[in-house]
A and B are shown apart, each in its own frame.
Chain A
Amino acid sequence: MYKRNIEESSKLERVLREGHFAFTAELGPPRGANIEKVKKKASYLKGYVDAVNITDNQTAIVRMSSLVTSLLCLEEGLEPVYQMVCRDRNRLAMQSDILGGYAMGIRTILCLSGDHQKFGDHPQAKGVYDLDSMQLAAMVKKMRDEGKFQGGDDIDVPPKKIFIGAAANPFAEPYNWRVYRLAKKIKAGVDFIQTQCIYNMERFKEWLKRANDMGLTEKVYILAGITPLKSVGMARYMQNKVPGMDVPEELIKRLKAAGKEKAAEEGIKIACEQIEEFKELKGVAGVHLMAIEWEHKVPEIAERAGLLPRPEV
């Protein structure tokens, strides 16, 4: 069983604090107790990323728990970013899972509201939403910095080294409010941000500029979210069916021009170009690659985008 020194910090935090351009990917837990599947996905990513996000019943579909999948990744030598959504747990369950995960070596958490249960495989479920993502981040900060539970009692060995993350979407209305919402997340206690998939670079840069101007990027590490487009169909789906997603028409034209056979290759090329651009942008501290069910492509993308080797920290 994996053991970690209670004083050891988050690897992602160390990478960022030392000024490296961070690189995280995503690993979706299996729809069952299939440990081999987790190990296989982890094997693609080991050594190629600083940390890997373990999604928590993403799209409200039941999967192996993000807590246990995170621990399996630790055993495989991969640093997990333990995702926790507000949909499925109240504050008691959240805190006990955080403490359990911390005791076993989890050092990085991503606080999310979660996709509404209506989208998933149990649309009749009662959504919990005891807390929202900001209140969750504030709770984790209180646990870490004050050594206290949300209810106020002292914690016997608090999660002192936990590194707190959250998401941000610069592409959903009201655009003007999004940067203030980022500021609120920072106030709540967030140390790093992973953004929604970025396709509209201009809109992202406008948001980033405002975050820079407000001094927010000095208080939080922003990892730019990327999902390579595999086909014109996927791009259209993202454009029309996924709320809060902004896929400009030029990108779809590029995929079309590449032809059906080469569209996925063109998608990777676009992602690599974006990563090159992010490296030069003030206020971007790294990238978060959400290659959905494409984990085996991550090393290739990392190589081509000049993200290798990953730093030893």
Chain B
Amino acid sequence: MIVGTRKPLEEIKAMISPYKKVLIVGCGTCVAVCLVGGEKEVEVLKNELSLAMGDKISFDGITLERQCDKEFLEQIKDVADQYDAFLSMACGAGVQFLSEVYPEKPVFPAVNTTFIGINRAVGWYEERCRGCGNCVLGITGGICPVTMCAKSLFNGPCGGTNKGKCEIDENQPCAWYQIYERLEKQGRLDQIMDVIPANNWENQRPRTVIQPGYENLYDTSSSK
């Protein structure tokens, strides 16, 4: 899922201060699961802001199923005119799509989108993927060297492995130490005996995916 953290209240207050009526828009998917931008968090932020801003700004809250889907964004079409700004609690994708669907409306993010990660325990999330576009997990024992190695080495470990931990943080395991251990246990060390060549970084420009079988539905020649 996409994991985020709530922006500091002061930063949010500064962004919305010129407006009178603000709709706080939550998102019911990733950010709800990671406890930062779902229904409950919308309510909490609404209360905090109402208390902080007094009667200078009035707030309403609504949580959409997903802000990365036009169908759900259109659910607030009828009420949009009542507000002079939106405060989105979605990830960066949701904030951008909300802005695109309501281009005349100022939209502000209440969340810092942080990473693609996993749920380790209640309220505890860890990054696992940078979306580089060329997945090597099949070679590296299911541990991502781009994300989990602080230097994104494809042919690690570097010389700074520190008792199995990363040299930059003693609480962070060395990704390549783990890759080695896992592949050794599985008898697959041969997979990393050859040099993994320079990566083709796909995440250096905005990307579009149209899944096979759907190409005919869209005229992509004019879209870019």
User: What is the interface of chain A, defined by CB distance below 8 A to chain B?
Assistant: 86-87, 91, 113-116, 118-119, 127, 129-135, 138-139, 150, 167-169, 172-174, 177, 180-181, 183-184, 187-188, 196, 243-244
- The residue in chain A whose Cβ has the minimal distance to the Cβ of B159 is A169
- The residue in chain A whose Cβ has the minimal distance to the Cβ of B161 is A172
Closest chain B CB from A148 CB (angstroms): 13
Tell me whether A173 and B198 are in contact (CB under 8 A): no
Interface 9-residue window, one of B37-45, B71-79, B119-127, B163-171: B163-171
Tell me whether B151 and A127 are in contact (CB under 8 A): yes
Q: Which of A130, A150, A172, A184 contacts B159 (CB 8 A)?
A: A172
CA–CA, A180 and B191, complex, Å: 12
Kindly name the residue among A91, A172, A183, A244 whose own CB sees the greatest number of chain B CB atoms within 10 A. A172
Tell me whether B155 and A184 are in contact (CB under 8 A): yes
- With a cutoff of 8 Å between Cβ atoms, the chain A residues found around residue B180 in the complex are 174, 177
Besides A184-B195, A187-B195, 16 other A-B contacts (C-beta < 8 A): A116-B151, A116-B167, A118-B150, A133-B158, A134-B155, A135-B197, A135-B198, A169-B159, A172-B158, A172-B160, A173-B164, A180-B189, A181-B155, A184-B155, A184-B193, A243-B167
Q: Is B47 an interface residue (CB 8 A)?
A: no
- With a cutoff of 8 Å between Cβ atoms, the chain B residues found around residue A187 in the complex are 194-195
**Given A187-B195, A188-B195, residue A132 in contact with residue B159 (CB < 8 A):** no
Tell me whether B153 and A132 are in contact (CB under 8 A): yes
- With a cutoff of 8 Å between Cβ atoms, the chain A residues found around residue B159 in the complex are 167-169, 172, 196, 243-244
- With a cutoff of 8 Å between Cβ atoms, the chain A residues found around residue B154 in the complex are 132, 134-135
**Given A129-B152, A132-B154, A132-B156, residue A243 in contact with residue B162 (CB < 8 A):** yes
- With a cutoff of 8 Å between Cβ atoms, the chain A residues found around residue B177 in the complex are 173-174
| Contact-residue size bin, chain B (C-beta under 8 Å from the other chain) | 20 to 34
- With a cutoff of 8 Å between Cβ atoms, the chain B residues found around residue A181 in the complex are 155, 157
Per the 8 Å Cβ criterion, residues 187-203 of B in contact with A are: 189, 193-199, 201
Main secondary structure of the interface of B (DSSP, over half): loop
Top 3 nearest A-B pairs (CB, nearest first) are A169-B159, A243-B162, A243-B167
CA–CA, A114 and B152, complex, Å: 12
Tell me whether B161 and A184 are in contact (CB under 8 A): no
Q: Which of B163, B168, B189, B195 contacts A173 (CB 8 A)?
A: B163
CA–CA, A239 and B179, complex, Å: 26
Q: Which of A132, A139, A168, A169 contacts B155 (CB 8 A)?
A: A132
CA–CA, A233 and B154, complex, Å: 36
- With a cutoff of 8 Å between Cβ atoms, the chain A residues found around residue B196 in the complex are 135
Tell me whether B194 and A184 are in contact (CB under 8 A): yes
**Given A116-B168, A119-B168, A129-B153, residue A134 in contact with residue B195 (CB < 8 A):** yes
Closest chain A CB from B133 CB (angstroms): 14
Q: Is B69 an interface residue (CB 8 A)?
A: no
Per the 8 Å Cβ criterion, residues 138-155 of B in contact with A are: 150-155
CA–CA, A169 and B160, complex, Å: 9
Tell me whether A150 and B198 are in contact (CB under 8 A): yes
- With a cutoff of 8 Å between Cβ atoms, the chain A residues found around residue B197 in the complex are 135, 138
- The residue in chain B whose Cβ has the minimal distance to the Cβ of A241 is B162
CA–CA, A131 and B163, complex, Å: 25
- With a cutoff of 8 Å between Cβ atoms, the chain A residues found around residue B151 in the complex are 86-87, 113-114, 116, 127, 129, 132
Kindly name the residue among B162, B189, B198 whose own CB sees the greatest number of chain A CB atoms within 10 A. B198
Q: List 21 A-B residue pairs with CB atoms under 8 Å apart, sorted by A's residue number.
A: A86-B151, A116-B168, A118-B168, A119-B168, A127-B151, A130-B201, A132-B152, A133-B158, A135-B154, A135-B155, A135-B196, A138-B198, A167-B159, A172-B158, A172-B159, A172-B161, A174-B177, A180-B189, A184-B193, A243-B161, A243-B167
Q: Is B100 an interface residue (CB 8 A)?
A: no
Closest chain B CB from A85 CB (angstroms): 10
**Given A113-B158, A177-B180, residue A244 in contact with residue B167 (CB < 8 A):** yes
Q: Is B48 an interface residue (CB 8 A)?
A: no
- With a cutoff of 8 Å between Cβ atoms, the chain A residues found around residue B174 in the complex are 173
Closest chain B CB from A242 CB (angstroms): 9
Closest chain B CB from A245 CB (angstroms): 9
CA–CA, A283 and B157, complex, Å: 23
- With a cutoff of 8 Å between Cβ atoms, the chain A residues found around residue B181 in the complex are 174
Closest chain A CB from B158 CB (angstroms): 5
Closest chain B CB from A247 CB (angstroms): 14
- With a cutoff of 8 Å between Cβ atoms, the chain B residues found around residue A168 in the complex are 159
- The residue in chain A whose Cβ has the minimal distance to the Cβ of B181 is A174
- With a cutoff of 8 Å between Cβ atoms, the chain B residues found around residue A134 in the complex are 154-155, 195
Q: Which of B161, B162, B198 contacts A131 (CB 8 A)?
A: B198
Closest chain B CB from A265 CB (angstroms): 29
Kindly name the residue among B164, B167, B196 whose own CB sees the greatest number of chain A CB atoms within 10 A. B167
- With a cutoff of 8 Å between Cβ atoms, the chain B residues found around residue A113 in the complex are 151, 153, 158
**Given A116-B167, A131-B198, A135-B198, residue A244 in contact with residue B155 (CB < 8 A):** no
